[in-house]
């Protein structure tokens, strides 16, 4: 069935994840229950995605890569792609249009312009300072703020603002950032947003590796809009959606009162393990998650981390047995067709570490639990951001704090000094926790430097 519904959603950050996760799911909902839930996608930076999709009217192939077979469907619910820097006013008009009931976001962790350690707006962020004094924004929170301002001024009903990024309490975090900005613009606008606009928390899950030129070359139509994903998908949404809403509940999306147990499970178990494989696996020479997960030392390490250090900090979400969830993760990671690069996941570690690893570490410290495995992951990140691999080759480290991470690593005269210098970055590490882990983390880091990642991981296993 070809769906060309009218747009009801404007989505900021049209990466592969949204195209392989939410768009197919929205199509499933429209096939069951109809509705105009077409999507206008917004690229906040470059024209690449628009240019890849425009020749085919924004329709694209979405390929599911199972462990044995692949299946393909064609997605047709994306109506248009706007490139924000080309015409920011057009983006705001789409977001402020009364037909737009949902403004959704996948702008990655750093797109929220928050302080990762506290979750609050980073008031020193140069783009935020700019957006507060310009009517045409450049940041994602700036777009949300100015679109809400237009709706408020025009008397247009408040939309649902749906963050779909891997952040703890993503809805509340975005709400806090937007409200902090609104307070600088107008008290009335602030109060309208606070009382009328809903920002549900969500947990989103599907592994979607970045599409490579080789993937496109191998596709039967060489379609540049191609996205590829694993079979698994899970979407849990806090049930505070403004009406109308797509019939996602009829096609397997879970609407619940409290998303937190699902979200913490996913961030700490899936994303935490992903980051562990990204840094330590990369250092040990594993280019992909499947390769690393297929290495018995790393598979053993993940099982140990999950069962001994992560699961003890979690509340079991309804309907899920955490030990089974862990085994399922290992199977998902081992999917040989996915070619999910460890270097892709390693990106932006300063923004990811707090919710993936450091929150767990903090909980374990409070309860007197074991933290040896978590420390190996933090040490792996520290070694990785130093910029040189175990093979002596430079690492293409990408992070919003890259310059600071590199200069702190470079200026440190010893491994002890490296650990201390990185631990004192307060945007990432809570100073109290930093003080508690300095000693053992330094030992682990020295082992990584001396013995390598794989041997250090192996020694951590009981």
Phi-psi region of 319 (alpha: psi -120 to 50; beta: other; left: phi over 0): left
Contacts of 243 (CB under 8 A, 6+ apart): none
Quick one: which segment of 114-122, 186-194, 270-278, 427-435 binds ligand CS2 (CB under 6 A)? 270-278
Nearer of residues 80 and 275 to ligand CS2, judged by Cβ? 275
| Residue placing its CB nearer to ligand CS2 in the complex, 175 or 206 | 206
Q: Which residues, 6 or more positions from 101, have their beta carbon under 8 angstroms from its beta carbon?
A: 8, 9, 159, 160, 242, 244, 245
345 binds ligand CS2 (CB under 6 A): yes
Nearest to ligand CS2 of 224, 265 (CB atom) = 265
Q: Which two tokens stand for residue 48?
A: 């690449």
CB of 433 to ligand CS2, least distance (A): 22
Q: Which residue, 56 or 344, has its beta carbon nearer to ligand CS2? A: 344
Shorter beta-carbon distance to ligand CS2: residue 341 or 444? 341
Q: Interface with ligand CS2 includes 332 (CB under 6 A)? A: no
CA distance 16 to 37: 19
Q: Is the peptide bond before 309 cis (omega within 30 degrees of 0)?
A: no
To ligand CS2, the closest distance from the beta carbon of 208 in angstroms equals 7
409 forms part of the interface with ligand CS2 (CB under 6 A):
no
How far, rounded to the nearest angstrom, does the alpha carbon of residue 31 sit from its chain's CA centroid? 28
Distant-in-sequence contacts of 64-70, Cβ < 8 A, 24+ apart: 64/228, 64/229, 64/230, 64/231, 65/228, 65/229, 65/230, 65/231, 65/335, 65/337, 65/338, 66/230, 66/231, 66/335, 66/337, 67/335, 67/336, 67/337, 70/337
Question: Applying CB under 6 A, does 205 fall inside the site for ligand CS2?
Answer: yes
Q: Which of 269/419 has CB closer to ligand CS2?
A: 269
Instruction: Verify binding: residue 230, ligand CS2, rule CB under 6 A.
Output: no
Closer to ligand CS2 by Cβ: residue 151 or 274: 274
**Which of 1-9, 50-58, 126-134, 205-213 is the region at the interface with ligand CS2 (rule: CB under 6 A)?**
205-213
Q: Which stretch binds ligand CS2 (CB under 6 A): 118-126, 200-208, 306-314, 439-447?
A: 200-208
Total residues contacting ligand CS2 by CB under 6 A comes to: 9
Cα 61 to the center of its chain, rounded Å: 23
Least distance to ligand CS2, CB of residue 230, Å: 9
44 binds ligand CS2 (CB under 6 A): no
Give the residue with the Cβ less far from ligand CS2, 177 or 270. 270
Cα–Cα distance measured from residue 77 to residue 6, given in angstroms and rounded to the nearest whole number: 9
User: For ligand CS2, which is the closer residue by CB, 10 or 20?
Assistant: 20
Q: Binding of ligand CS2 at residue 160 (CB under 6 A)?
A: no
Nearer to ligand CS2, 101 or 340 (CB): 340
Q: Answer yes or no: are the C-beta atoms of 33 and 65 closer than 8 Å.
A: no
Say whether residue 180 binds ligand CS2 (CB under 6 A): no
167 binds ligand CS2 (CB under 6 A): no
Contact residues for 264 (Cβ-Cβ < 8 A; gap 6+): 168, 313, 314, 315, 359
Q: Does 125 bind ligand CS2 (CB under 6 A)?
A: no
Work out whether 206 is an interface residue with ligand CS2 (CB under 6 A): yes
Check residue 233 for interaction with ligand CS2 (CB under 6 A): no
User: Binding to ligand CS2 by residue 207, rule CB under 6 A?
Assistant: yes
Pick the piece of the chain touching ligand CS2 (CB under 6 A) from 75-83, 139-147, 268-276, 403-411: 268-276
Residue with Cβ nearer ligand CS2 (100 or 106): 106
- Does the protein bind ligand CS2 through residue 274 (CB under 6 A)? yes
Residues 385 and 349 sit within 8 Å (Cβ to Cβ): yes
Tell me which stretch binds ligand CS2 (CB under 6 A): 5-13, 137-145, 199-207, 398-406.
199-207
Residue with the shortest CB distance to ligand CS2 = 274
Q: Which of 106, 166, 351, 442 binds ligand CS2 (CB under 6 A)?
A: 166
Q: Is 271 in the site for ligand CS2 (CB under 6 A)?
A: yes
Q: Quick check: 422 binds ligand CS2 (CB under 6 A)?
A: no
Q: Among residues 17 and 304, whose Cβ is nearest to ligand CS2?
A: 17
Residues that bind ligand CS2 (CB under 6 A): 166, 205-207, 270-271, 274, 344-345
């Amino acid at each position: 069935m070809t769906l060309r519904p009218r747009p009801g959603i404007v989505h900021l950050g049209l990466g592969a994840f949204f195209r392989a996760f939410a768009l197919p799911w929205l199509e499933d909902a429209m096939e069951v229950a109809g509705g105009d839930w077409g999507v206008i996608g917004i690229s906040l930076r470059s024209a690449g995605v628009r240019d890849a999709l425009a020749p085919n009217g924004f329709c694209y192939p979405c390929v599911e890569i199972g462990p044995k077979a692949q299946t393909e469907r064609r997605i047709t619910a994306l109506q248009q792609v706007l490139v924000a820097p080309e015409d920011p006013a057009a983006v705001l008009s789409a977001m402020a249009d009364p037909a737009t009931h949902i403004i959704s976001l996948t702008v990655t962790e750093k797109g929220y312009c928050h302080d990762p350690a506290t979750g609050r707006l980073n008031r020193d962020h140069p783009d935020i300072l700019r957006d507060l004094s310009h009517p045409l924004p450049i940041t994602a929170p700036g777009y949300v703020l100015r679109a809400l301002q237009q709706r408020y001024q025009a008397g247009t009903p408040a939309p649902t603002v749906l963050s779909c990024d891997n952040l703890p309490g993503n809805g509340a975090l975005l709400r806090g950032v937007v409200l902090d900005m609104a307070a600088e613009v107008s008290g009335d606008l602030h109060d309208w947003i606070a009382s009328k606009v809903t920002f549900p928390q969500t947990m989103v899950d599907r592994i979607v590796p970045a599409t490579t030129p080789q993937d496109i070359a191998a596709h039967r139509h060489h379609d540049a809009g191609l996205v590829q994903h694993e079979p698994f998908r899970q979407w849990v949404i806090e049930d505070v959606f403004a009406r109308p809403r797509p019939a996602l509940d009829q096609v397997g999306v879970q609407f619940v009162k409290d998303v937190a147990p699902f979200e913490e499970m996913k961030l700490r178990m899936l994303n935490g393990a992903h980051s562990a494989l990204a840094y330590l696996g990369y250092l040990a020479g594993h280019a992909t998650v499947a390769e690393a997960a297929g290495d018995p030392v790393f598979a053993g390490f993940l099982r140990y981390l999950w069962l001994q250090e992560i699961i003890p900090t979690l509340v079991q979400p309804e309907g899920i047995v955490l030990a089974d969830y862990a085994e399922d993760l290992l199977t998902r990671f081992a999917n040989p067709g996915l070619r999910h690069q460890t270097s892709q996941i390693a990106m932006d570690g300063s923004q990811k570490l707090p919710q993936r690893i450091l929150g767990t570490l903090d909980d374990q410290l409070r309860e007197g639990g074991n933290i040896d495995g978590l420390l190996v992951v933090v040490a792996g990140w520290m070694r990785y951001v130093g910029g040189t691999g175990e093979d002596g080759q430079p690492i293409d480290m990408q992070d919003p704090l890259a310059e600071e991470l590199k200069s702190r690593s470079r200026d440190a005269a010893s491994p002890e000094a490296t650990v201390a210098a990185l631990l004192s970055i307060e945007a990432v590490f809570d100073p109290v926790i930093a003080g508690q882990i300095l000693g053992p983390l330094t030992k682990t880091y020295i082992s990584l430097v001396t013995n390598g990642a794989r041997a250090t991981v192996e020694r951590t296993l009981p």
